[in-house]
Structure 1
């Protein structure tokens, strides 16, 4: 008969093991991260779908992004975003208006800091290789902070090129954001000017400075 202290020790050991990172997932993530962060930039074309399970609604749109370190340019049908590492410009073509802000550097969500997806797994998350498919890996990231606003992040990483195939954020409020990558390139060398709004290019646009 197992005594109570022994049961407690076994239970604690079990919980400790379940909380550890999956070595198979870490190996894939290390290679994926190294390849993306060593590149001059990551260029992507994607389809972005947002599903609200509470309201029973969904929205889908296509976009593109160029990421270089923490800098980025994201183009969506009704919005263009530039971030040069310090300031962010959000341009709304329909109303010819651009808003300048200083984003929260601690916000690692895809829309706030897209490049974080290549390194976010290194801290504050536990990783698990959910499935190894013929051409890709499915890896889940679980936040260690129980007060996090999301339940998990799911990555689909291609086997051959270690490229990002898909990304899914599942939030506690019933919203799921899914990004399906349709184009992925690591060879493009962007100019610094691509990560800042150009007043000369967009003449007559109203500028709202919220910094």
Structure 2
């Protein structure tokens, strides 16, 4: 008969093992991260869907992004975002207005820092290879911080090209954000000007500086 202290020790050991990173997931993530971060940029075309389970609503739109280190340019149907590593410009074509801000550098969400998705798994997350499919891997990332605003991040990574196929953020408030990648390129060499708003190109636009 196993005594109670021994049972407690075995249970604690079991919990400790389950909390460790999955070596198979880490290997895929390391290769995925290395390939993306060594490239001059990552260019993506995607479909972005936001589902609110509480309100019973959903919204879907198409967009594109160019990521280079922490810099990016994201184009959505009603919004264009530029970030040069220091300042962010958010342009609304319908009202011809651009707002300049300094983003929170600690915000690692996809919309705030898209490139973080290639390295976010390295700290503050536990990883698990959920499924190995014919052409891709499905990997879940679980935040170690119990006060995190999201439950998990799910990545779908292609086997052949180690490319991002899909991304899903599941939040505690019932909102799930799903990004399906329809185009992925690591060869494009962007110019620095592509990551900043050009007043000369968008003449007559109202500029609101919130820095």
Residue 170 of structure 2 aligns to a residue whose secondary structure is: strand
Residue 154 of structure 1 aligns to a residue whose secondary structure is: strand
Distance apart, 1:53 and its partner CA: 0.3
Distance apart, 1:110 and its partner CA: 0.2
Distance apart, 1:74 and its partner CA: 0.1
Work out the CA distance in 1 between the residues paired with 2:186 and 2:159: 16
Distance apart, 1:4 and its partner CA: 1.5
Residue 37 of structure 1 aligns to a residue whose secondary structure is: helix
* 1:66 has 2:88 as partner: no
Q: Equivalent residues in 2 for 1:37-116 (5 A)? A: 37-116=37-116
Work out the CA distance in 2 between the residues paired with 1:30 and 1:116: 14
Distance apart, 1:86 and its partner CA: 0.3
Distance apart, 1:194 and its partner CA: 0.2
Distance apart, 1:22 and its partner CA: 0.2
Aligned residue for 2:151? 151
Aligned residues: 211
Q: For structure 1, which runs of at least 5 residues remain unmatched after alignment?
A: none
Alpha carbon RMSD of aligned pairs, Å?
0.3
Work out the CA distance in 2 between the residues paired with 1:109 and 1:146: 17
CA deviation vs aligned residue, 1:1-39 (integer Å, no higher than 9, x gap):
111111111011000001000000000000000000000
TM superposition outliers: structure 1 runs of 4+ over 2 Å? none
CA deviation vs aligned residue, 1:168-187 (integer Å, no higher than 9, x gap):
00000000000000000000
Distance apart, 1:46 and its partner CA: 0.1
TM-score after normalising by structure 2: 1.00
Q: For structure 2, which runs of at least 5 residues remain unmatched after alignment?
A: none
Work out the CA distance in 1 between the residues paired with 2:7 and 2:175: 39
TM-score after normalising by structure 1: 1.00
CA deviation vs aligned residue, 1:148-194 (integer Å, no higher than 9, x gap):
00000000000000000000000000000000000000000000000
